A = this chain, B = another copy of it.
Amino acid sequence: MNHKFLSISRRTRSTPFSRRVEAAGVKAYTVYNHMLLPTVFDSIEADYWHLCEQVQVWDVSCERQVEITGPDSQRLVQLMTPRDISRAAIGQGIYAPLCDENGRLINDPVVIKLTQDHWWVSIADSDVKLWAMGLASGYGLDVRISEADIWPLAVQGPKAEELVARVFGEDVRGIKFFRSLMLDFRGTEMMVARSGYSKQGGFEIYLNDAALAEPLWDELFRLGQDLQVRAGGPNLIERIESGLLSYGNDVTDAHTPFECGLDAYMDLDADIESLSLPALRAIAGKHENLLVGLRFEQAMEIDNGDVTSGEQIVGTISSHTWSPRHRKHLALAMMKRDYLADNTTVELSGIEGSIVDLPFAFDTQNSVTG
């Protein structure tokens, strides 16, 4: 790997947790929503095994909350997504692709309903706030849009529930997936949701007071010592094994939700006012590409980029990794559906790989444990 430094400035915003992240020995960051996102502490593989076996604390402050309040807030959120949000419960998170009038993906956030007139759009890496502001101006909506002073801290891994229960109390054990409770830390109520960008289980704490960032971090580490708690971050190996998409990597605003396999997150027949629905209804079933998995039986020396068949480009690899657990090389690739109709394999550098549905399925009998 070609190591380059990151020039850190005020523009690549640090977070209320940054001092603790630095003290924990962060080795690499990426920049996400104009903010530092820690990515490596030990090594990607060592971090991976630890995540899958113990518990990690992740500074995911960069999951910015676009806060929309006011009488027209639900209307604005609905305009942005083809998913019907009208039946959302208070405190519920809904994975809701945001799409423009051509049905192209602007972002793939979790939309959180705090009250009827108060929503958070918990965004991936694009300035959704600006889009929302433009729409609100143009439609003359009675809303207030801001980036909320909220810094999510994720606790992920099989021991996450135990750790979060030790800090926030036994009530956390009853929180269902993508649901949340307002829970107390040092006299301040904050949202604790069962969610996170891994499939190892866990929670996201929506810290709402920067002054509590270090006390919260320290408490998680104090009470998690016997659980082998460590600092971590979204992990390339784990997220690809788990088939978690990354906006900007695997899917972009060049793609529709159909191409991204997000059909389940659109309500094409709903009677809702959504910018993208007319276009999405019109193109349903006619999309050219589909995001799939590629599985190779050996480690590959490949770059992200074109997949070819003869002279033709038939797809693009957007992310890939060696899976040390399953002893396979796994890739996410946006492939031409024409090609998928006639083929179940691809060839890269003379090595054949299988085309598979996402998320990947594994024969766990032959898996390695860390």
Please list the residues of chain A having a beta carbon within 8 angstroms of any beta carbon in chain B.
2-12, 22, 26-31, 34, 39-40, 100-101, 106, 125-128, 130-140, 246-250, 275, 304, 318-319
26 cross-chain CB contacts under 8 A? A2-B22, A3-B5, A4-B8, A4-B26, A6-B28, A6-B31, A7-B39, A9-B30, A9-B248, A9-B249, A10-B250, A10-B318, A11-B125, A11-B247, A12-B30, A12-B31, A34-B125, A34-B248, A101-B137, A126-B127, A126-B130, A130-B130, A130-B131, A131-B131, A134-B134, A134-B136
Return chain B residues, CB-CB under 8 Å to A134: 130-138
| Closest B residue, CB atoms, query A124 | B11
Give the distance in Å from the alpha carbon of A304 to the alpha carbon of B11 in the complex: 11
| Closest B residue, CB atoms, query A132 | B134
| Closest B residue, CB atoms, query A134 | B134
Give the distance in Å from the alpha carbon of A101 to the alpha carbon of B11 in the complex: 23
Give the distance in Å from the alpha carbon of A29 to the alpha carbon of B29 in the complex: 12
**A318 CB, nearest partner CB in chain B, Å:** 5
| Closest B residue, CB atoms, query A316 | B10
Return chain B residues, CB-CB under 8 Å to A135: 134-135, 137-138
Q: Is the CB of B4 within 8 A of A5?
A: yes
Known contacts A135-B137, A137-B138; can you find 13 more A-B pairs with CB under 8 A? A4-B8, A4-B28, A7-B28, A9-B246, A10-B318, A10-B319, A12-B31, A30-B31, A100-B133, A126-B127, A130-B131, A134-B134, A138-B139
Return chain B residues, CB-CB under 8 Å to A126: 34, 127, 130
Give the distance in Å from the alpha carbon of A34 to the alpha carbon of B253 in the complex: 13
Return chain B residues, CB-CB under 8 Å to A31: 6, 12, 30-31
**A81 CB, nearest partner CB in chain B, Å:** 14
From B2, B127, B136, B304, contact of A10 by CB (8 A): B304
| Closest B residue, CB atoms, query A246 | B11
Return chain B residues, CB-CB under 8 Å to A136: 134, 138
From B28, B246, B275, contact of A137 by CB (8 A): B275
Return chain B residues, CB-CB under 8 Å to A27: 4-5
The listed residue with most B CB atoms (<10 A of its CB), out of A2, A5, A100, A246, is A5
Return chain B residues, CB-CB under 8 Å to A250: 10
Return chain B residues, CB-CB under 8 Å to A140: 138
**A208 CB, nearest partner CB in chain B, Å:** 19
Give the distance in Å from the alpha carbon of A40 to the alpha carbon of B126 in the complex: 26
Return chain B residues, CB-CB under 8 Å to A6: 4-6, 28-31
Q: Is the CB of A10 within 8 A of B249?
A: yes
| Closest B residue, CB atoms, query A32 | B11
**A286 CB, nearest partner CB in chain B, Å:** 21
Return chain B residues, CB-CB under 8 Å to A131: 127, 130-131, 133-134
